[in-house]
Amino acid sequence: MNENKLREQICLFSRSLFERGLTHGTTGNVSARLEDGGLLTTPTDSSLGFLDPARLTRLDAEGRVLSGDRPTKEIPLHQAMYETRAGAGAIVHLHSTHSVAVSMLPGINPEAVLPPLTAYSVMRVGATALVPYYRPGDPAVAGAIRGLAGRYAAVLLANHGPVVTGKTIEAAVAATEELEETARLHLMLRGLNPRLLTNAQVQDLVSHFNLEPYPEHHHETDSPD
């Protein structure tokens, strides 16, 4: 996809996220990887609902700003995700309400923040790792991301929000939406002992759709006859 088209897509999908309440104010940032290894990112302190394609930040493969407005302060986070997820073509980072809420719950499994509630959460998002709290924009978060060695397409920053990769902008946005809806379901069902997908059902999805490995969980309830 050429750069102009990619700029338009970033603005289109960002506005969609904003209009549906998945991001608010000037929170969140989106980036896409260019064919030359550089990045297009949303500028710092910009609303995802009102982006100008011509003002998106253009960085080269070394992270130097070539054009556009000042980049988001989360550039180290984006760069670390791209470095460790070879197939990532785009990244969406939001402060979406339900995902942030889940990141603050006690007893979270850092290797799988959300249980396997639905087939599509397994298929579109996969297991989601919890990254400890870092100040927004802290370059140290990049080290925590690199420490995951690219095993996760999505991570949840504690007390901050989700960071989701995809091969395309559309795929990253779809996975972000799936993660937020799964977080919402998880909060709705807390204390109700919901029936999760069993480990066997999860592994069937992994095998059938050639997904990345998904960690086993220990809260299974037999399906009704």
Q: Could you state, in order of their start, the residue ranges of all structural domains in the chain?
A: 3-117+128-196
Active site residue 133: no
- The pLDDT value recorded for residue 224 is 38
Phi, psi of 59 (to 5 degrees): -115, 150
Q: Walk along the chain (225 residues) in steps of 10 and give the mean pLDDT of each run.
A: 94 97 96 95 96 97 94 95 95 98 95 96 96 94 95 97 97 98 97 95 97 81 38
- The pLDDT value recorded for residue 219 is 61
**Active site residue: 82, 120, 134, 214, which one?**
120
Sheet holding 57-59, edge to edge: 65-67, 57-59, 39-41, 29-33, 90-93, 161-166, 154-157, 128-131
The CATH homologous superfamily to which domain 3-117+128-196 belongs is Class II aldolase/adducin N-terminal domain (3.40.225.10)
Is the pTM here over 0.75, yes or no?
yes
